[in-house]
Amino acid sequence: MSDALPEVVVHTRAGCPMCAQAEQAAHAVADRARVRVVDVDTDPALAEAYGERVPVVTIDGEEVLALAVDADALAAALAARGASPWGP
């Protein structure tokens, strides 16, 4: 059943306070999504693609949030894609 959950990817970098907030938001919805955190600086292509524009959150590969990410906004983005706001 976990394969049916949407995949939330948080693109971050070390030392970024907004990234830490986005990670916390992602963990707050971990009961209704598969959450993965990716440090863009570990991959030169990602570092170039995102530059200073982090955090960026994707759901199933589609960018849904950037820069200002909180749990409410992420929950709303998941709900808009059909994920239950109350978990599985």
Answer whether residue 6 shows pLDDT above 90: yes
Name the CATH code of domain 2-80 (choices 3.40.50.300, 3.30.70.1020, 3.40.30.10, 3.20.20.70). 3.40.30.10
What is the Cβ-side half-sphere exposure of residue 32, based on CA atoms within 13 angstroms?
20
Q: Is the pLDDT of residue 2 over 50?
A: no
Confidence of residue 88 (pLDDT cuts 50, 70, 90): very low
pLDDT digits (tens, 9 = 90+) for 11-59: 999 999 999 999 999 999 989 899 999 999 999 999 999 999 999 999 9
Answer whether residue 81 shows pLDDT above 90: no
pLDDT at 14: 94
Q: Return the domain boundaries, the chain.
A: 2-80
Q: Identify whether the C-beta of residue 55 lies closer than 8 Å to the C-beta of residue 12.
A: yes
